[in-house]
Structure 1
Amino acid sequence: MHDGQLVIEEELAGELIAREFPRLAGLPVVAVPGAGTVNAIFRVGSDAVARFPLASVSADELAAEAVALADFADASPFPAPRPLGIGAGDQRYPSAWSMQTWLTGEIADPFCAAGTETFARDLGALVVALRAAPVGSRVFDGRGRGGALADHDEWMAHCLKQSAGIVDAARVSCAWSMLREVPQVGEPVMSHRDLIPANLLVAEGRLVGVLDGGSFGAADRSLDLVCAWHLLEAEARLVVRGIVGASDDEWRRGAAWALQQAMGLVWYYERTNPVMAELGRSTVTRVLADQDVLG
């Protein structure tokens, strides 16, 4: 999926896990299939999971993620992984990597419970609980989504060029030109920052787990609302809005962040990760059809 992507197979993962975490030596190590774009995932025994980044990262970076992950697990009303430790790589796999607790559940998709009020209520409850976590001295770190929408104009222009023929680029351009002007509402709040289907676990139409909390931090209060367009149809989205109590501007900024994220998926993963590309297309379609957002 990415230039210079690191590759690791089950055998090597098992060797590194046994070396760094002797108590886990001998347990089965099984690759977990999925549409993830940041880590290769391996289940270790029944209770642990190893996450091997697809691009090299330092132990310090993963240590910071572990702190955020633990904070997220404390704040989330739904189960979330907890950090178990950080492993070192070697010449065969030149990156630090991490161990976490395993959660059961099925990875959500854009359509699995898109019209379900109970699922929408779960998503709304998640956003409300995360916002209630104290920000303290944290500030938006300036990385990725969660600050000024206009900071992403250059990226969106690039995505529009790359996405010609995949989505209605003219309509997306018009929508972005409107949504980028929506003012930020209130102060930053604590945010998961990537509430996409791949980071949510479901069972019988209910939310049963939240993954990838390592970016938990202060951001635009609208950012976590992306889940409404990534995962829900129109009526169910309004359930989320009601629970969160989002104002018009707050809600429209949520749609803007969803559109910005989706436009990076539709072309970048068109050939290498069809699941993520489909997520991008379905989210773009939902935003463009949302009369509460675009009028």
Structure 2
Amino acid sequence: MIGSQYADGRAGIDAGLVRRLIAAQFPQWSGLPVTPVEKDGWDNRTYRLGDRLTARLPTHEAYVAAVDKEHRWLPRLAPVLPVSIPESLAKGSPGEGYPYPWSVRRWLDGDTARPDRIADLPAFAESVAEFILALQRADAVGGPRAGAHSFYRGAPPEHYDAETRRALFALDGRVDTARAGAVWKAALDASWTGTPVWFHGDIAHGNLLVRDGRLVAVIDFGTSGVGDPACDLVIAWTMFSGRSREAFRAAVGQDPGTWARARGWALWKALIVLAANVDAASGTAEAAVAEEQRHVIDEVLADAAL
């Protein structure tokens, strides 16, 4: 899950701890400088190890399952995908007062996919669709079925029904809860009966890397798994619009039921985040987050009405 700049030391993890872990468990890399990445995630703290490696440490027990999952499955997915994905070089053990497994990975060059870094957004949308379809074609036999490790991405959206309805109640009078409720109901009614396929679980601009405006890598497979791929379509409303959304929709395909569930996934997240920030003071970061989520909700509701 993508995040932003955090002060070093969040969740009890800092550069000093990483140096001690590296020295104790991977002395071949102990001479490399350790620096926090500029754009950090919420689920993990990530540090540069020299120019070519990173150390990635979960911030909470809830995110630990991703370490083994990614270490095992990403090498199997990489050969069939059209762009680079993280390469795990070593798996670390708890130590130095840090309680969880962690990993050392190869650094992937690229900038996060902000629209201002992409000259041709419709073409970029098509490349994201190409990645999603290639991931769906990957051999899913024995893969990790959607569940707690994926935060139920890839599972039926019913898992988040109570949370969504609480958010709708809290936002009554602030968003069009009647229309939003209808879109959510349509997502629940569009039961998925397809063959389980691989999904990423968090296709978002912060997990897409670009060079010269082109998609070159997809990162953070912590919520990935095997199941319903509808959750991977939410970028249609969180990043794309107009021609780029049309290009994405045409390239990625998918049946109407999958799109209905995708709208549900996008709506769920936007509603719960907006509910948590709706009363934020004007001019604060929280108010900006709330405005972003209002925009996503408006886009989803407008799309559902087409």
| Bin for the TM-score computed over the shorter chain | 0.7 to 0.9
Q: Which residue pairs with 2:302 in the alignment?
A: 289
Could you say if the C-alpha distance between residues 95 and 167 of structure 1 is closer, same or farther in structure 2, counting changes exceeding 3 Å? farther
Q: Deviations over 1:230-283 (max 9, x none)?
A: 221132122122112222222222222222233343345787975866654443
1:259 counterpart (246, 267, 272): 267
The answer to whether the aligner puts 1:158 opposite 2:166 as a matched pair is: yes
After superposition, the Cα gap between the structure-2 partners of 1:284 and 1:59, relative to the gap in structure 1 and judged at 3 Å, is closer
The residue type equivalent to 2:240 in the other structure is L
2:52 to 47, 55, 60: 47
| Cα distance change on mapping 1:253 and 1:61 into 2, 3 Å | closer
Distance 1:72 1:214, change over 3 A: farther
Asked if the contact 2:25/2:92 (under 8 Å) is kept, the reply is yes
Q: 2:233 is matched with which residue?
A: 225
1:208 and 1:247, CA in 2 relative to 1: closer, same or farther beyond 3 A? same
Q: How far does residue 155 in structure 1 lie from its aligned partner after superposition? A: 1.8
Match of 1:97 in 2: 102
Structure 2 CA distance for aligned equivalents of residues 254 and 114 of structure 1: 26
Contact 1:35 1:276 in 2 (8 A): no
Please say if residues 35 and 198 of structure 1, whose CA atoms lie closer than 8 Å, have aligned partners that are also in contact: no
Cross-structure match for 1:209: 217
* Distance in 2 of aligned mates of 1:253 and 1:37: 25
For the pair 1:118 / 2:123, whether they are aligned, the reply is yes
TM-score (norm 1): 0.84
Judged with a 3 Å threshold, the aligned counterparts in structure 2 of structure 1 residues 29 and 269 are, in CA distance, closer, same or farther, namely: farther
Deviates more, 1:265-274 or 1:30-39: 265-274
Contact 1:111 1:231 in 2 (8 A): no
Taking a change above 3 Å as real, the CA distance of residues 205 and 58 of structure 1, as seen in their structure-2 partners, is closer
* Deviation of 1:180 (Å): 2.3
Describe the shift of the 1:153–1:233 C-alpha distance in structure 2 as closer, same or farther (beyond 3 A): same
1:19-58 to 2 correspondence within 5 Å?
19-34=24-39, 36-56=41-61
1:103: how far off? 0.4
The 3-state SS of whatever aligns with 1:30 is: strand
Instruction: Give the Cα–Cα distance (whole angstroms) in 2 for the partners of residues 57 and 179 of structure 1.
Output: 27
Return 112-121 or 30-39, whichever deviates more.
112-121
CA 1:129–1:57: 2 relative to 1, 3 Å:
same
After superposition, residues 183-202 of structure 1 pair within 5 angstroms as 183-184=191-192, 186-202=194-210
Greater Cα shift, 35-44 or 262-271: 262-271
Code of the residue aligned with 2:202 in structure 1: it is D
- SS of match in other structure, 1:222: helix
Superposed CA deviations along residues 16-46 of structure 1, whole A, max 9, x for unmatched, are 1222211111211110132522011111111
* Counterpart contact for 1:86–1:98, Cα < 8 Å: yes
Please tell me whether the aligned partners of residues 187 and 221 of structure 1 are also in contact (alpha carbons under 8 angstroms): no
Q: Counterparts of 1:82 and 1:68 in 2: how far apart (Å)?
A: 10
Question: What is the match of residue 6 of structure 2?
Answer: none
- Residue by residue over 1:215-239, the C-alpha shift from the partner in whole angstroms, topping out at 9 and shown as x without a partner, is 4421113222122222211321221
Q: CA deviation at 1:112?
A: 5.4
Query: Which amino acid counterpart does residue 174 of structure 1 have in structure 2?
Result: A
Partner residue in 2 for 1:86:
91
What is the aligned partner in structure 2 of residue 68 from structure 1? 73
* CA RMSD of superposed structures (Å): 3.0
* Letter of the 1:152 counterpart: Y
**What SS class does the counterpart of residue 155 from structure 2 fall into?**
coil
SS in 2 for 1:79: coil
**Contact 1:189–1:218 (8 Å) recurs in 2:** yes
Aligned partners of 2:270 and 2:42: how far apart in 1? Answer: 14
Offset, 1:52: 1.2
For structure 1, list consecutive stretches of 5 or more residues without a partner in the other structure.
Answer: none
- State the one-letter code of the partner of 1:286: E
CA contact (8 A) 1:139 1:188 kept: no
Match of 1:245 among 248, 253, 260: 253
* Alignment deviations for residues 74-108 of structure 1 (CA, whole Å, 9 cap, x no partner): 33211111111122233632222111111011122
| TM-score between both structures, scaled by the size of structure 2 | 0.82
Conservation of the 8 A alpha-carbon contact between 1:114 and 1:236? no
Q: Quote the residue 2:82 is aligned against.
A: 77
| AA partner of residue 283 (structure 1) | V
State the Cα distance separating 1:59 from its structure 2 match: 7.3
